């Protein structure tokens, strides 16, 4: 397959759109030459720098401040400069601080300004400051959407102080749940705050367009306030079920002290650390949080089967870890990708379903899942992550 002629042929057949480059190239080569090139075969990270786009950073007068062919590194090197510029633009355009009610006019989808003769597009976000909210400009629309969702939750809470006071008093009460929380080193106060945030998000924000002006905000407030207590009680009941299962697992783990079980116990502890990472009640979409009881029941069944089956468990865990380690590496090193990549988020929860299918098949899964499907899904994740870094 002559490369120059192939490139010319493909360029004549494609037009600019939002499709990932590697998917377009794979499809075009298959259509024109009947050759299937798998996505992992491309290995764009092996390209010499000469073939990569060169990015230059200039100041307001057009003087070069730096350059590079790795966009992520260039952005990281000038992160502070970008933050200062966006902060200056925010202060010039918006009333930014100590906001406790919607009295700042419209929250636009984007804000454009001139920098060194170039039009720069940034994205206004309503950011949670706990005792108030603030308007900040963000680099990416996904960032702004994510931050604004949380900021608007806080703003809705400021408008309903009596309801918030009532829910703080009534939810997650009783000796049983408090003893269970203490048994797994969790604090009621933090779970309660996260519960409130999650339920306000579900009632006022989830699956809806964000309000962009005061009228839209007030309409949303009026429409949702009657659902608040009922939704909060339902979520509190779900969390009570979750903490009950979690407590049972911790008791079983204390008894699982055979040396041959160490590999399985280590894997379970890593799984629990991710499932119950700080802020999980807020960060976990409700459709996945509702699956926690099943995920935890699967762990209980796994522990109950360990005696006499630890070699089988280790084999299954090895296959599982080969799939989960790349995800955890991204999770630790690039938390922003979890916000910006829906494919990565889908892969994360498919892994939980895969665990259920391996260790507690009788509990069933939400969707068909297999090692093959997860490997195919990871290819899409890798492509999506390349798009995010380009």
Annotated domain spans of the chain: 3-37, 55-138, 160-255, 257-390
> How far, in Å, are 28, 41, 48 from residue 13 at the CA level?
8, 22, 26
pLDDT at 42 (0 to 100) = 78
Residues above pLDDT 90, as percent of the chain: 52
Q: Give the Cα separation of 328 and 220 in Å (integer).
A: 37
Ordered DSSP codes for 114-163? EETTEEEEEEEEEEE-SSSEEEEEESSHHHHHHHHHHHHHHHHHHH-HHH
Q: Which residues pair with 122 in a beta bridge?
A: 111
Confidence at residue 92, expressed as pLDDT on a 0 to 100 scale: 63
Cβ–Cβ under 8 Å, residues 122 and 94: no
- For 189-229, what is each residue's pLDDT tens digit? 999 999 999 999 999 999 899 999 999 999 999 999 999 99
Q: Which of 21-25, 37-41, 155-159, 338-342 has the lowest mean pLDDT?
A: 338-342
- The answer, yes or no, to whether residue 90 has pLDDT greater than 70, is no
How confident is the model over 49-70, as pLDDT tens digits?
777 788 887 776 777 878 888 7
User: For position 337, what pLDDT does the model report?
Assistant: 59
State the chain's mean pLDDT as an integer.
86
What is the reported pTM?
Answer: 0.78
Task: Check whether 350 has a pLDDT greater than 80.
Answer: yes
């Amino acid at each position: 397959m002559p490369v120059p002629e192939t490139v010319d042929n493909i360029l004549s057949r494609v037009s600019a759109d939002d499709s990932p480059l590697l998917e377009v190239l794979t499809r075009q080569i298959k259509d024109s030459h009947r050759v299937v090139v798998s996505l992992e075969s491309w290995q764009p990270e092996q390209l010499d720098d000469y073939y990569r786009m060169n990015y230059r950073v200039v100041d307001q007068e057009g003087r070069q401040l730096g350059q590079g062919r790795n966009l992520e590194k260039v952005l990281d090197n000038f992160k502070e400069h970008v933050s200062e510029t966006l902060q200056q633009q925010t202060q010039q355009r918006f009333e930014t601080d100590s906001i406790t009610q919607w009295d700042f006019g419209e929250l636009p989808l984007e804000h454009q300004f001139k920098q060194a003769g170039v039009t720069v597009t940034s994205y206004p976000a309503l950011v949670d400051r706990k005792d108030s909210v603030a308007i900040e400009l963000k680099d990416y629309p996904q960032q702004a959407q994510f931050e604004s969702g949380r900021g608007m939750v806080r703003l809705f809470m400021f408008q309903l102080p009596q309801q918030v006071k009532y829910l703080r008093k009534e939810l997650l009460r009783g000796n049983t749940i408090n003893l269970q929380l203490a048994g797994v080193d969790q604090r009621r106060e933090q779970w309660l705050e996260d519960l409130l945030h999650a339920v306000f998000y579900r009632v006022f924000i989830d699956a809806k367009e964000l309000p962009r002006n005061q009228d839209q905000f007030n309409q949303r407030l009026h429409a949702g306030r009657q659902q608040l207590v009922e939704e909060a009680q339902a979520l509190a009941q779900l969390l009570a079920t979750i903490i009950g299962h979690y407590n049972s697992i911790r008791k079983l783990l204390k008894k699982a002290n055979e040396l041959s079980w160490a590999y399985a116990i280590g894997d379970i502890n890593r799984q629990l650390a991710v499932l119950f990472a700080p802020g999980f009640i807020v960060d976990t979409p409700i459709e996945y949080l509702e699956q926690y009881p099943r995920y935890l029941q699967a762990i209980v069944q796994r522990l109950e089967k360990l005696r006499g089956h630890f070699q089988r468990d280790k084999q299954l865990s090895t296959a599982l870890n080969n799939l989960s380690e790349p995800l955890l590496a991204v999770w630790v090193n690039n938390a922003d990708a979890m916000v910006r990549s829906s494919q990565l988020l889908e892969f994360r929860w498919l892994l939980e379903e895969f665990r259920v299918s391996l260790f507690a098949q009788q509990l069933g899964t939400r969707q068909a899942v297999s090692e093959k499907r997860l490997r195919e899904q990871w290819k899409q994740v890798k492509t999506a992550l390349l798009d995010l870094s380009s």
